[in-house]
């Protein structure tokens, strides 16, 4: 399974998450500050928003 490194927009903490093979992750919880980070409006998921990777939906076009 592919992994992405998410960066928390609140505290800057970096954590790895598994990228699902299909579908999007709408939100995740920061391991450091416990903030629930949701994808901003107009961005499909937290993988695209907070990591340097793209989700499978985006990469498929």
For Zn ion, the binding residues (CB under 5 A) are: 8, 10-11, 13, 30, 32-33, 35
Instruction: Dump the DSSP string for 1-43.
Output: --EEEEE-TTT--EEEEEPPSSS---EEE-TTT--EEEPPTT-
Task: Name which of 15 and 58 has its Cβ closer to Zn ion.
Answer: 15
To the nearest whole angstrom, how small is the minimum distance from the Cβ of residue 50 to Zn ion? 10
To the nearest whole angstrom, how small is the minimum distance from the Cβ of residue 25 to Zn ion? 16
Task: Name which of 12 and 23 has its Cβ closer to Zn ion.
Answer: 12
Compute the residue count for the chain. Answer: 61
Rounded to the nearest angstrom, the gap between the alpha carbon of residue 26 and the centroid of all alpha carbons in its chain is 8
Task: Name which of 30 and 46 has its Cβ closer to Zn ion.
Answer: 30
């Amino acid at each position: 399974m592919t992994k992405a490194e998410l960066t928390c927009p609140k505290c800057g903490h970096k954590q790895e998450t598994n990228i699902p093979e299909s579908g999007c992750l709408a939100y995740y919880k920061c391991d450091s500050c416990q903030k629930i980070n949701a994808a901003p409006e107009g961005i499909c998921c937290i993988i695209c928003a907070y990591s340097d990777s793209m989700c499978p939906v985006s990469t498929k076009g």
